[in-house]
A = this chain, B = another copy of it.
Amino acid sequence: MKEVAIGIDIGGTNTVFGIVDKKGNCIIKNSISTDAYDDAKLYVKDLCISIIETIKLTDEDFEIKGIGLGAPNGNYYKGTIEFAPNLKFKGIIPLVDMIKNQLEYPVIILTNDANAAAIGEMIYGGAKDMKNFIMITLGTGVGSGIIVNGELVYGHDGFAGEIGHTIVDPNGRMCGCGRKGCLETYASAPGIKRTVFELLANLNEPSELRDVSCNDLSAKMIDNAALNGDKIALESFEFTGKILGLKLADAIAHTSPEAIFLFGGLAQAGDLIFKPTLYYMEKNLLNIFKNKVKLLPSQLEGSDAAILGASALVWKELDSVS
C-alpha cells in the first residue's frame, strides 16, 4: 500500500487539504470553509467528514501515516490554536485532540503555516540537503520558520520563529498585532501597498498607481506597474527590499543559516524583490557572514504549497521518532 500523509492548511477563509505521497505529489485535494463556522467543534466534525469522503473518492488503497496541520498561531507542543486573530474560533482551541476524537492515525500534528512551509521545503523542496536555513513567508502577513541542526526551532513555548514581528521602527506603522513598526507592516503584500501610498504622498513622480484607491490596490498591480517601469512601483520594491534585507541580516546574526527561502505572493515578484533584498541583506551583514548565505525562492511554490508544507510535518515527525 502506498504510504501517504494528509496535509491540512487552515486559513481565515478556507481550509484546504490533500493526500500527499512521500515525494510531494498531491494525489487529491479538497476544501471546506473556515469562516462559515463560529463553533470549532462543528468545524472539526465537518472537516473530518470531508477528509473521509475525499479519501473515498480515490480508487487507491492508502496507508495513511498521519495528518499534518498548518494553522495561524498553531502550537506544536500543545496541539492548540491560541488566540489566532484571523480565525473566528476564539481563545485556545485544542485542535489536535479534537481531531484525534474523530480520526485515528498514528501521527496528528500541528504547527503554524510558516513552520509547516519550512518543513515542506526540507522534505520536498530546495532545502533537502540543508540543516540550517530560514523560511520567510511573504503573504498577507510575514511568517517564518527557522531550522537549526535539521530541526525546526519551536522554542520554550512552541511559538518561536516570529521574524515578521521583529521591530523595524518602534515608532513605525501600526501592526495588526497591536504594536508599531513590525517587519510585517513593510514586507507583506499589505505592507508594500502602504509603501506605495507613502511614496505617492512623498514624491511627485507620475504613476499609474495614482489612479487606484487604497482598497483597490493589489500587490499584483504594483508588480505589473513595476514591470512597466513605473517609478513609484519600482521604488516601493526597492524600499521593501531595504527593510527586509536589514531584518534578514539580523536573523542571520542569530542562527547563521546556509540559506533563506522566500515564499508566498510577494516572493513571486522575482528579481523585483530578490535583488534589493539581497543587496541590503549583504550591506547589513557582519563581515563573517558576508557572501555566504543564499537567498532563494521556495521550491514549494504553487497552489499546493500550503498542503505540501502541512503534510511534510508527518514525514518529519515519523523520521524524528524512528
Contact = CB atoms under 8 A, between A and B. Distances in A.
> What interface size band does chain A fall in?
35 or more
Given A178-B287, A179-B286, A286-B162, A155 B82 contact: no
Interface in A271-322: 284, 286-289, 292-293
A27 interface: no
Contacts of A116: none
A187 B189 CA distance: 34
A170 B246 contact: yes
A269 interface: no
Contact of A146 (B162, B246, B255): B255
A198 B177 CA distance: 33
A157 to B, nearest CB: 6
Interface in A241-285: 246, 249-251, 253-258, 284
A34 to B, nearest CB: 21
A73 B288 contact: yes
A160 interface: yes
A43 interface: no
B165 A253 contact: yes
Interface in A139-194: 146, 148-149, 151, 153-163, 165-167, 170, 177-179
Interface in A58-82: 73, 82
A284 B170 contact: yes
A153 B160 contact: no
Nearest to A160: B256
A148 B153 contact: yes
A163 B253 contact: yes
A166 B287 contact: no
A167 B245 CA distance: 12
Contacts of A160: 254-256
A292 B162 CA distance: 15
A5 B295 CA distance: 41
Nearest to A134: B254
Contact of A167 (B73, B156, B246): B246
A197 interface: no
Given A148-B155, A153-B148, A155-B148, A254 B284 contact: no
A256 B155 CA distance: 5
A154 B73 contact: no
A111 interface: no
A124 interface: no
24 contacts: A83-B287, A132-B156, A146-B255, A148-B148, A148-B155, A153-B256, A156-B292, A157-B292, A160-B255, A161-B253, A161-B254, A162-B288, A162-B289, A165-B286, A166-B254, A167-B250, A167-B284, A177-B286, A177-B287, A178-B287, A250-B250, A251-B254, A254-B255, A255-B255
Interface of A: 73, 82-83, 131-132, 146, 148-149, 151, 153-163, 165-167, 170, 177-179, 246, 249-251, 253-258, 284, 286-289, 292-293
Closest 5 CB pairs of A and B: A155-B256, A160-B256, A156-B258, A166-B250, A162-B253
